[in-house]
């Protein structure tokens, strides 16, 4: 279907329905929600509203939201002004996006009900990070609530099963350590692949993750940005009841089709489009670690040395801070003038947003060195660009496993991830070249 999701679709009622979408913080969640909004509105003729939680954590989210409503005026905007939260006092050092989830989770019980009632919503689609609080509000208003899981079906199966795993550990009196987790009917997630935060039961993310995992059985349906061919076991197990009993219907709606809003086109300091156009076919290594995490300084330097040593052309999107608004460092400070000068004939390094979908579809691009955020994984799959996976944190090792198993790329499992000892990237990249 043009402008639509390419996977399963829930059966939509014959009468026009008003679907309210509730994304959470971060581009990794907002991007698939904008795709879903366009698929439902332009593709299926639904009346769609998108809740925008303000303030956003990053400027990339603000730009995406403005561009969506400008390009698709039929999609209605429902602003939700979040109650202030003293993050530095309550969650010192916490990831700003997890704090963003928390701010939304606290405001949803008060603010979502009036928004749904005022809009005359016939269904709510809530982001996974808000599931437990949003389902409760929708239920009180007798509005069906679907949960949209923006990551892989394998990760959804892990999430759905994780509370059962914890209960088992607790009953056996085995303390708080998280070992390997055998997700029934899907796979064994080794302890070293479990998202780092989940090893700490008091971490803000862990509390949200477990509450949301327990709430899945109370949703009216689960949407996941996955497709059967890429994760057949996980999709079948979720549907067949082997992961946890009592899950609602699971719809694999991925890979969601891209929506090119061209929001970066005007303010593009590095003309990466023109640069890509000038490169030979299938010659460029595209390097990006997503929208929400900066590499540690020594890893940035190692990656630079590796890209220099490998001798290939490359387009590298560098982030100097977790949130783009805080990212004031100059490229020369991060990488050194010498490196930038030495690679200027074959490498383009930028700190700006690039339209990744467009980059991956460009004929010059041959390889994607990726952190394996799930959107990046599905975009690589949709564009046929092989992935060299270097997962950094959260669900990315789970995703890297899916990507490797599906034949879409390779993951060198011994490469470190956040919190582990650093390895020398330059050695790894130059040994790959040999």
* Residues taking part in catalysis: 29, 127
User: DSSP E strands: which ranges in 290-408?
Assistant: 313-317, 347-350, 365-370, 387-389
Cβ-contact 167, 139 below 8 angstroms: no
Residue recorded with tokens 């992961």: 243
Does 154 interact with ligand UDP (rule: CB under 6 A)? no
Among 8, 231, 302, 395, indicate the residue that binds ligand UDP (CB under 6 A).
Answer: 395
CB-nearer residue toward ligand UDP: 157 or 279: 157
Using CB under 6 A as the criterion, what x/- string covers residues 33-72 for binding ligand UDP? ----------------------------------------
Does 150 interact with ligand UDP (rule: CB under 6 A)? yes
E strand or H helix that includes residue 383: helix 374-383
Residue 44 to residue 100: CA distance in whole angstroms: 31
Residue recorded with tokens 């080794």: 190
Does 23 interact with ligand UDP (rule: CB under 6 A)? no
* Interface with ligand UDP: number of residues (CB under 6 A): 32
Does 26 interact with ligand UDP (rule: CB under 6 A)? yes
Candidates 20-28, 111-119, 175-183, 306-314 — which segment interacts with ligand UDP by CB under 6 A?
20-28
CB-nearer residue toward ligand UDP: 104 or 426: 104
Instruction: Write out the binding residues for ligand UDP, residues 363-392 only, by CB under 6 A.
Output: 373-376, 379
Instruction: Write out the binding residues for ligand UDP, residues 219-278 only, by CB under 6 A.
Output: none
Minimum gap (Å) between residue 431 Cβ and ligand UDP = 27
Minimum gap (Å) between residue 208 Cβ and ligand UDP = 4
Residue 126 to residue 311: CA distance in whole angstroms: 45
Among 7, 23, 28, 306, indicate the residue that binds ligand UDP (CB under 6 A).
Answer: 28
Cβ-contact 404, 375 below 8 angstroms: no
Does 300 interact with ligand UDP (rule: CB under 6 A)? no
Among 50, 125, 394, 408, indicate the residue that binds ligand UDP (CB under 6 A).
Answer: 394
Among 51, 75, 145, 151, indicate the residue that binds ligand UDP (CB under 6 A).
Answer: 151
- Three-class SS of residue 250? strand
Instruction: Write out the binding residues for ligand UDP, residues 127-146 only, by CB under 6 A.
Output: 128-129
- Three-class SS of residue 295? coil
Candidates 140-148, 149-157, 405-413, 422-430 — which segment interacts with ligand UDP by CB under 6 A?
149-157
Alpha-carbon distances, residue 264 vs 50, 272, 303, 325 (angstroms): 21, 11, 26, 16
Candidates 214-222, 239-247, 285-293, 405-413 — which segment interacts with ligand UDP by CB under 6 A?
285-293
Minimum gap (Å) between residue 31 Cβ and ligand UDP = 4
What single-letter DSSP state applies at residue 52? E
Around Cβ 216, how many Cβ atoms within 10 Å? Answer: 25
DSSP string, 182-241: EETTTEEE-TTTS-GGGGSTTSHHHHHHHHHHHHGGGSSEEEES--TTTSHHHHHHHHHT
Residue 323 to residue 332: CA distance in whole angstroms: 19
What per-residue string of b and e applies to 203-213 under the rule 16 or more CB within 10 Å gives b?
bbbbbbbbebb
Q: Is 61 exposed, middle or buried (0-12, 13-18, 19+ CB in 10 A)?
A: buried
Does 286 interact with ligand UDP (rule: CB under 6 A)? no
Candidates 110-118, 135-143, 349-357, 408-416 — which segment interacts with ligand UDP by CB under 6 A?
349-357
Does 354 interact with ligand UDP (rule: CB under 6 A)? yes
Minimum gap (Å) between residue 353 Cβ and ligand UDP = 4
Question: For binding to ligand UDP (CB under 6 A), which residues are involved?
Answer: 26-29, 31, 97, 128-129, 150-151, 155, 159, 208-209, 212, 288, 290-292, 317, 353-357, 373-376, 379, 394-395
């Amino acid at each position: 279907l043009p402008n639509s999701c390419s996977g399963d679709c829930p059966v939509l009622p014959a009468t026009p329905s008003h679907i309210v979408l509730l994304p959470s913080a971060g581009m990794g969640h907002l991007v698939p929600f904008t795709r879903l909004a366009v698929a439902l509105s332009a593709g299926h003729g639904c009346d769609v509203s998108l809740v925008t939680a303000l303030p956003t954590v990053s400027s990339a989210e603000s730009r995406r939201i403005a561009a969506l409503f400008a390009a698709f005026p039929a999609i209605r905007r429902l602003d939700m002004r979040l109650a202030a939260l003293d993050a530095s006092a309550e969650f010192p050092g916490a990831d700003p996006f997890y704090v963003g989830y928390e701010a939304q989770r606290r405001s949803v019980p008060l603010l979502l009900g009036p928004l749904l009632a005022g809009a005359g919503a016939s269904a709510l689609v809530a982001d996974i990070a808000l599931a437990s609080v949003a389902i409760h509000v929708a239920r009180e208003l007798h509005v069906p609530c679907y949960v949209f899981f923006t990551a892989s079906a394998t990760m959804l199966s892990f999430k759905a099963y994780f509370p059962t795993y914890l209960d088992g550990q607790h009953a056996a009196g085995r303390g708080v350590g998280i070992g390997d987790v055998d997700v029934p009917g899907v796979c064994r997630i080794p302890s070293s692949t479990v998202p780092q935060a989940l090893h700490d039961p008091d971490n803000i993310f862990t509390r949200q993750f477990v509450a949301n995992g327990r709430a899945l059985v109370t949703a009216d349906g689960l949407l996941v940005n996955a497709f059967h061919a890429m994760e057949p076991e996980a999709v079948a197990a979720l549907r067949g009841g082997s992961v946890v009993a009592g899950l609602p219907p699971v719809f694999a709606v991925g890979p969601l089709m891209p929506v090119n809003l061209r929001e970066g086109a005007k303010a593009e300091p590095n003309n990466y489009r023109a640069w890509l156009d000038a490169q030979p076919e299938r010659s460029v290594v595209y390097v990006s670690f997503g929208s929400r995490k900066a590499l540690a300084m020594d890893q940035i330097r190692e990656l630079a040395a590796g890209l220099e040593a490998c001798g290939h052309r490359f387009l590298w999107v560098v982030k100097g801070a977790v949130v783009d608004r805080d990212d004031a460092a100059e490229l020369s400070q991060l990488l050194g003038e010498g490196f930038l000068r030495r690679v200027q004939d074959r490498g383009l390094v930028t700190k700006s947003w690039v339209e990744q979908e467009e980059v991956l579809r460009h004929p010059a691009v041959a390889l994607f060195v990726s952190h394996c955020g799930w959107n990046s994984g599905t975009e690589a799959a949709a564009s046929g660009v092989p992935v060299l996976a270097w997962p950094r944190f959260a669900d990315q090792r789970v995703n890297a496993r899916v990507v490797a198993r599906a034949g879409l790329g390779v993951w060198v499992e011994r490469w470190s991830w956040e919190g582990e000892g650093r390895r020398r990237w330059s050695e790894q990249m130059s040994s790959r070249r040999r």
